[in-house]
């Protein structure tokens, strides 16, 4: 298991490097990530490469037992790039070209930028091939959807469309372009979606196209690195739940997935847990790396509070509990200049180890060593519940009215939070992943769905699975076109045993009066966001709407299909509904909580050599009583723990059988 930080030797005097390396070594660190913003250092002028600064830094770090993840530096281009090639910069929807002076301000489709990327990547890969102290590579830094609409993007988009559609006529039909006389006669007529009211199909495919271009840019860097050193292990640092890029497809080109996460404050730990589960899904299971984890305050575009004592430790072990096999904090030392100058480091601007963050992380280093000795690296996480999430569904909902109607991840987190509160382990996977190992599959906001995905879900239910979905089921096809069949479409209607002729959007500018009310199990619950009026065609009614014109309709149904059941929750509801509704369904499917704990205490389990290691995290600001099935041993502090004990605020234990 690796433990370290993101380090910028190019920013600090050479005489300081040995001090930094010694402090890292004393904190138990064995790795640093370097180079992602050093293009000007590596290539001060076009075609002139300089490696001496990083050669010396890597050598010195190695002498202190610290190995290196080396990054390609294309995230931030030098001034000479724009001066020689001014059209590399992104052009926005209004035709304005961005300028040099920030990062990620260039176009992935620009041929000159693509060539510059090849050159610097190959120069670095050839120079550092088989270097004994470089154990991993990272491509670029935090790839993102640029939104560029330059001439290069327009030309590449037309080529992309020609590769994905048989003819302009096929594209017209797929997108419904007869509306507003938008039909085209040749792919050459198509442009990027610059207007606010462009077709949702057009905007969705443009985002798919831009994602594909980023994937190709990344893939080429990976291929160049591996052509020079076939044993090189290459990753990229994702941005948790970011939806601008199809991270699942990008993972196919990587040896493992890495992530950047800034939980920011104690109120965000549930959201952080969801993010870790999403990343683990992209990685195909446990073993992802945290390439950037918050280690202090963040005063950049907004002003945030300094994490209280114990918070960095809690963030760290939450990531490990959810499957991280490496922790690198951002950053080693606070930077004195630039827009991140008040973004905290492990040591602050003065470089002193007196900082609380350094002292806390030094203690964490001792705990990491115990986890290493236990054999945690590569250990599995085995769950019986899955939540379905996909890039295409996320983007389809974001392009519709600019994302003002549905918050896809917020809907998924309604279910995730309830399971987290009951200590039910879950994976976040794609609708086309293998679902057979799960007893329960949650598919909230399954709005965009393909016939193949529907067939897979039906097979899952027929073979004994429990499938739970929510409102807007089947409202889009692959191209963001509304089907002409009665919702949710014939195949889904047959699976869930309902039809929908009426629905109500509750996310309107006008007051939602009346608001539908749902009655279930003797309790009433207010609806939010949306309400589908369900008409059973074979499903059993579990709950109904109780007021106004909604009253004749079902709100929640259950349909027996083969050996399993398909459950439709027709509205978004208060959190307390999910807390009450899901546990009985999980219990009926044979899914039990990892451990019963007080509210705000999270429990995650990793299996080390087949034996469970229980991470118990107190995510509250008060001490919490914990009761275990038997006395255990806390690996982190190497101490026995009785059957009952009190877990202090923001504290964590990692327990195994005594």
Which run of H or E residues covers position 453?
Answer: helix 451-462
Longest dimension (CA), the chain: 77
Residue 567 maps to a domain: yes
Domain extent, residue 622, equals 601-657
Using the 3D structure, point to which of 558, 588, 618 is the last residue of a domain.
588
Instruction: Report the distance separating Cα 233 and Cα 130, nearest Å.
Output: 11
274: Cβ contacts below 8 Å, ≥ 6 apart: 241, 409, 412, 413, 416, 417, 420, 428
Strand partners, 616: 603, 653
DSSP 8-state symbol, 448: B
Task: State residue 197's pLDDT score.
Answer: 67
Encode pLDDT of 590-628 as tens digits. Answer: 999 999 999 999 999 999 999 999 999 999 999 999 999
Told to judge if 142 belongs to the known catalytic residues of this protein, a careful annotator would answer: yes
Task: State residue 473's pLDDT score.
Answer: 97
How far the first Cα of the chain sits from its last, in Å, is 23
DSSP 8-state symbol, 648: P
pLDDT at 112 over 90: yes
> Band of the pLDDT at 66, cuts 50, 70, 90?
very high
Complete edge-to-edge strand list for the sheet that includes strand 652-657: 601-608, 611-618, 652-657, 632-634, 639-641
CB contact at 8 A, 614 and 654: yes
**Among 209, 235, 62, which residue's Cα sits nearest to residue 141?**
235
Three-class secondary structure of residue 199 per DSSP: coil
Encode pLDDT of 271-293 as tens digits. Answer: 999 999 999 999 999 999 999 99
Using the 3D structure, point to which of 531, 564, 588 is the last residue of a domain.
588
Lowest-pLDDT range of 18-32, 96-110, 309-323: 96-110
Using the 3D structure, point to which of 588, 611, 638 is the last residue of a domain.
588
Place of tokens 């382990």: 425
Residue 260 maps to a domain: no
Encode pLDDT of 520-569 as tens digits. Answer: 999 999 999 999 999 999 999 999 999 999 999 999 999 999 999 999 99
What tokens does 578 get? 């999910």
State if pTM tops 0.95: yes
Rg of the chain over Cα atoms, rounded to whole angstroms, equals 26
Torsion 87-92-94-96 (CA) sign: negative
> Band of the pLDDT at 230, cuts 50, 70, 90?
very high
Lowest-pLDDT range of 292-306, 453-467, 639-653: 292-306
Told to judge if 220 belongs to the known catalytic residues of this protein, a careful annotator would answer: no
What whole-number percentage of the chain has pLDDT above 70? 99
Task: State residue 339's pLDDT score.
Answer: 85
CATH number for 516 = 3.40.50.880
Task: State residue 37's pLDDT score.
Answer: 96
118: Cβ contacts below 8 Å, ≥ 6 apart: 220, 224
Instruction: Report the distance separating Cα 89 and Cα 205, nearest Å.
Output: 22
One domain for residues 561 and 608:
no
Residues 520-534: b if buried by 16+ CB within 10 A, e if exposed: beeeebebbbbbbbb
CB contact at 8 A, 445 and 413: no
| 208 torsion bin: left (phi>0), alpha (psi -120 to 50), beta (else) | alpha
Distance, C-alpha 489 to centroid of its chain: 30
Residue 568 maps to a domain: yes
CATH number for 641 = 2.60.40.1180
Peptide bond into 207 cis (omega under 30): no
One domain for residues 531 and 392:
yes
One domain for residues 467 and 537:
yes
Q: Which of 126, 142, 462, 502 is catalytic?
A: 142
Task: State residue 507's pLDDT score.
Answer: 82
Encode pLDDT of 428-465 as tens digits. Answer: 999 999 999 999 999 999 999 999 999 999 999 999 99
One domain for residues 632 and 539:
no
Task: State residue 403's pLDDT score.
Answer: 62
Beta-strand relationship, 324-330 and 2-6 = parallel
Residue 87 maps to a domain: no
One domain for residues 408 and 488:
yes
CB contact at 8 A, 159 and 259: no
Mean pLDDT taken over the chain: 95
Count of all residues that appear for the chain in the document: 658
One domain for residues 437 and 500:
yes
Encode pLDDT of 207-221 as tens digits. Answer: 999 999 999 999 999
Residue 169 maps to a domain: no
Residue 617 maps to a domain: yes
Instruction: Report the distance separating Cα 419 and Cα 572, nearest Å.
Output: 16
CB contact at 8 A, 618 and 649: yes
One domain for residues 506 and 407:
yes
Mean pLDDT, to the nearest integer, of 411-434? 97
Q: Which residue has the higher pLDDT, 504 or 399?
A: 504
Q: Which of 36, 292, 360, 535 is catalytic?
A: 292
Instruction: Report the distance separating Cα 494 and Cα 462, nearest Å.
Output: 12
Task: State residue 508's pLDDT score.
Answer: 74
Instruction: Report the distance separating Cα 219 and Cα 155, nearest Å.
Output: 21
One domain for residues 578 and 639:
no
Distance, C-alpha 584 to centroid of its chain: 29
301: Cβ contacts below 8 Å, ≥ 6 apart: none
Encode pLDDT of 364-380 as tens digits. Answer: 999 999 999 999 999 99
One domain for residues 509 and 437:
yes
Residue 130 maps to a domain: no
One domain for residues 637 and 521:
no
Instruction: Report the distance separating Cα 477 and Cα 657, nearest Å.
Output: 50
What tokens does 456 get? 């897979």
Number of domains in the chain: 2
Strand partners, 654: 615
Residue 635 maps to a domain: yes
One domain for residues 444 and 529:
yes
CB contact at 8 A, 538 and 559: yes
Torsion 210-214-219-224 (CA) sign: positive
One domain for residues 441 and 512:
yes
552: Cβ contacts below 8 Å, ≥ 6 apart: none
């Amino acid at each position: 298991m690796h433990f370290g930080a993101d380090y910028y030797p190019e920013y600090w005097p050479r005489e300081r490097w040995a001090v930094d390396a010694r402090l890292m070594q004393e904190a138990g660190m064995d790795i640093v990530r370097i180079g992602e913003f050093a293009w000007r250092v590596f290539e001060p002028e076009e075609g002139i490469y300089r490696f001496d600064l990083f050669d010396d830094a890597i050598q010195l770090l190695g002498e202190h037992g610290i190995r290196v993840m080396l990054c390609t530096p294309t995230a931030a281009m030098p001034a000479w790039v724009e001066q020689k090639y001014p059209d590399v910069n992104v052009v926005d929807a209004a035709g304005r070209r961005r300028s040099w002076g920030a990062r990620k301000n260039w176009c992935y489709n620009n041929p000159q930028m693509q060539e510059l990327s090849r050159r610097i990547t190959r120069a670095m890969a050839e120079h550092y091939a088989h270097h004994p102290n470089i154990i991993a590579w990272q491509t670029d830094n935090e790839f993102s959807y640029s939104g560029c609409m330059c001439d290069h993007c327009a030309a590449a988009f037309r080529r992309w469309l020609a590769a994905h559609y048989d003819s302009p006529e096929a594209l017209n039909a797929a997108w419904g372009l007869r509306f507003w006389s938008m039909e085209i006669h040749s792919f050459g007529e198509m442009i990027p979606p610059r207007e606010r009211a462009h077709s949702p199909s057009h905007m969705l495919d443009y985002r798919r196209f831009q994602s594909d271009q980023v994937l190709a840019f990344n893939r080429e860097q990976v291929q160049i690195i591996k052509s020079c050193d076939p044993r090189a292990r290459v990753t990229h640092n994702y941005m948790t739940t970011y939806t601008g890029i199809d991270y699942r497809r990008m993972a196919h080109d990587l040896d493992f997935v890495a992530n950047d996460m800034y939980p920011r404050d104690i109120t965000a730990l549930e959201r952080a847990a969801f993010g870790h589960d999403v990343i683990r899904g992209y990685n195909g299971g446990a073993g992802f790396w945290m390439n950037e984890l918050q280690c202090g305050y963040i005063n950049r575009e907004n002003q945030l509070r300094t994490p209280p004592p114990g918070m960095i430790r809690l963030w760290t072990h939450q990531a490990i509990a959810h499957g991280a096999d490496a922790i690198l904090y951002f950053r080693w030392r606070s930077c004195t200049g630039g827009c991140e100058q008040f973004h905290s480091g492990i040591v602050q601007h003065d470089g002193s180890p007196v900082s609380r963050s350094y002292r806390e992380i030094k203690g964490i280093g001792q705990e990491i060593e115990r986890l290493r000795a236990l054999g945690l690296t590569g250990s599995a996480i085995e769950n019986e519940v899955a939540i379905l999430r996909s890039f295409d569904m996320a983007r389809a909902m974001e392009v519709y009215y600019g994302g003002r109607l549905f918050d896809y991840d917020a809907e998924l987190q309604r279910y995730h939070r309830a399971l987290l509160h009951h200590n039910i382990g879950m994976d976040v996977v794609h609708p086309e992943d293998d679902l057979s190992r799960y007893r329960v599959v949650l598919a909230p906001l399954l709005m965009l769905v393909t016939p193949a995905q529907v067939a897979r879900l039906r097979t899952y239910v027929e073979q004994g699975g429990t499938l739970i979905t929510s409102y807007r089921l089947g409202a889009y096809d692959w191209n963001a076109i509304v089907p002409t069949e009665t919702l949710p479409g014939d195949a889904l209607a047959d699976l869930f045993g309902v039809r929908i002729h009426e629905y109500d959007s509750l996310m309107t500018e006008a007051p939602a009066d009346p608001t539908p009310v749902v009655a279930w199990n003797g309790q009433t619950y207010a609806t939010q966001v949306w309400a589908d009026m369900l008409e059973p065609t074979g499903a059993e009614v579990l709950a109904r709407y109780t007021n106004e014109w909604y009253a004749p309709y079902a709100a929640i149904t259950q349909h027996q299909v083969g050996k399993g059941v398909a459950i439709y929750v027709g509205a978004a509801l208060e959190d307390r509904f999910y807390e009450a509704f899901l546990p009985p369904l999980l219990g009926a499917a044979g899914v039990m909580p990892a451990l019963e704990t007080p509210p705000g205490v999270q429990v995650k389990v990793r299996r080390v050599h087949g034996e469970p290691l229980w991470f118990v995290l107190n995510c509250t600001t008060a001490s919490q009583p914990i009761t275990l099935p038997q006395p255990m041993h806390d690996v982190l502090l190497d101490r026995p723990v009785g059957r009952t004990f009190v877990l202090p605020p923001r504290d964590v234990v990692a327990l195994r059988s005594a």
